[in-house]
């Protein structure tokens, strides 16, 4: 039994995600459908790319991940099907699948053109329901990627900002804020290791963000005391600024894109 996951900016009030599930089961009842998130920021392609990029690896190989964050729906923007890292991904060709494509040198991208699989509807295209959901259901039923369209190489790509490294310091930025108000940055565990100066968590870099400076990296949340703001390597393997009690985002008045700097030595 195949698994199909959904990652969208639809929210949960409206019946849009439910409709997609209906369409899938109508074609193929032999699947499990899992919601990864319907709370991606409205039309926030980078957030969608971040969330699916950090989530898909926890699912079994051959899982089909449908991602719908799509400001350009209905325009010339194409639907695509991607194979990467042993998983399938279906979504708009707007960069939201950039992270998963870039994560495997053997990635392949197919433009979805086989309209015989689409649901016919009046009105503004709801591609999640009319294209992505049925293609996912048919793919799970034994379809091959090339059944849905030809392979392409001119797919859209967006840059997830990467940290800028110096000999003894690194500048990154906040790329995601979770529901606890934790500030998740683009500095990875490996970036810190690569600096060769750090033996996580023994060494004590200084970390600056939003005008405050912190020393050392915590190993678990409860190590921070009272209203202390502190850095930690989080469960994504990313450098995160948090408060144990409270909300670091509110406390620092911080948002996505805010700069963070890590410095080693004196």
Interface residues for its own copies in 127-156 (CB under 8 A)? Answer: 129-130
Task: Check residue 236 for interaction with its own copies (CB under 8 A).
Answer: yes
Contact 127, 92 (CB under 8 A): yes
Stretch that binds its own copies, among 73-81, 100-108, 153-161, 253-261 (CB under 8 A): 73-81
Q: Name the minimum Å distance from CB 210 to its own copies.
A: 21
From 110, 132, 155, 244, residue interacting with its own copies (rule: CB under 8 A) = 244
d(CA 137, CA 141) in angstroms, rounded, equals 6
**Does residue 216 interact with its own copies by CB under 8 A?**
no
* Distance, CA of 21 to chain centre: 21
Residues 30-59 that bind its own copies (CB under 8 A): 32-39, 42, 51, 54-56, 58-59
Phi/psi of residue 225, each to 5°?
A: -115, 145
Helix (H/G/I), strand (E/B), else coil: 149:
coil
Task: List the beta bridge partners of residue 208.
Answer: 213, 261
Residue 151: count of CB within 10 angstroms of its CB: 13
Q: Which of residues 165-204 bind its own copies (CB under 8 A)?
A: 178-180, 189
DSSP output for 36-67:
EES-S-TT-HHHHHHHHHHHGGGSPTT-EEEE
72 sits near its own copies (criterion: CB under 8 A): yes
Residue nearer to its own copies on the CB measure, 7 or 186: 7
Distance CA 225, CA 29 (A): 50
Binding track, positions 110-129, relative to its own copies; x by CB under 8 A: -----------xxxxxx--x
Least Å distance, CB 151 to its own copies, is 26
Q: How far is the CB of 243 from its own copies (least distance, A)?
A: 11
Shortest Cβ distance from residue 66 to its own copies (Å)?
13
Q: How far apart are CA 178 and CA 247, in angstroms?
A: 10
CA atoms of 136 and 172, how far apart (whole Å): 36
Block residue for tokens 């279906």: 90
Give the residues lining the site for its own copies (CB under 8 A).
Answer: 1, 3, 5, 7, 10-15, 17-19, 21-23, 25-26, 29, 32-39, 42, 51, 54-56, 58-60, 63, 71-75, 77, 121-126, 129-130, 178-180, 189, 218-223, 232-238, 240, 244
């Amino acid at each position: 039994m195949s698994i199909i996951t959904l990652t969208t900016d639809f929210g949960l009030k409206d019946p849009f995600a439910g409709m997609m599930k209906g369409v899938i089961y109508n074609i193929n009842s032999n699947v499990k459908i899992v919601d990864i998130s319907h709370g991606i920021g409205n039309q926030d392609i980078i957030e969608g790319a971040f969330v699916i990029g950090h989530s898909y690896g926890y699912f079994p190989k051959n899982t089909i991940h449908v991602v719908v964050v799509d400001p350009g729906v209905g325009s010339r923007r194409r639907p695509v099907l991607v194979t990467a890292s042993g998983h399938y991904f279906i979504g708009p060709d707007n960069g939201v699948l950039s992270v998963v494509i870039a994560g495997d040198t053997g990635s392949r991208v197919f433009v979805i053109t086989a309209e015989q699989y689409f649901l016919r509807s009046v009105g503004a295209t709801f591609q999640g329901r009319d294209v992505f959901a049925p293609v996912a259901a048919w793919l799970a039923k034994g379809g091959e990627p090339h059944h849905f369209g030809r392979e392409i190489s001119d797919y859209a790509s967006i840059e997830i900002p990467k940290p800028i490294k110096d000999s003894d310091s690194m500048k990154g930025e906040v790329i995601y804020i979770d529901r606890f108000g934790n500030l998740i940055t683009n500095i990875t565990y490996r970036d810190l290791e690569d600096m060769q100066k750090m033996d996580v968590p023994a060494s004590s870099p200084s970390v600056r963000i939003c005008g405050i400076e912190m020393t050392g990296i915590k190993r678990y949340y409860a190590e921070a005391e009272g209203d202390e703001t502190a850095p930690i390597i989080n469960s994504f393997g990313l450098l995160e600024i948090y408060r144990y009690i409270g909300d670091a985002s509110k406390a620092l008045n911080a948002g996505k894109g805010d700069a963070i700097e890590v410095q080693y030595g004196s």
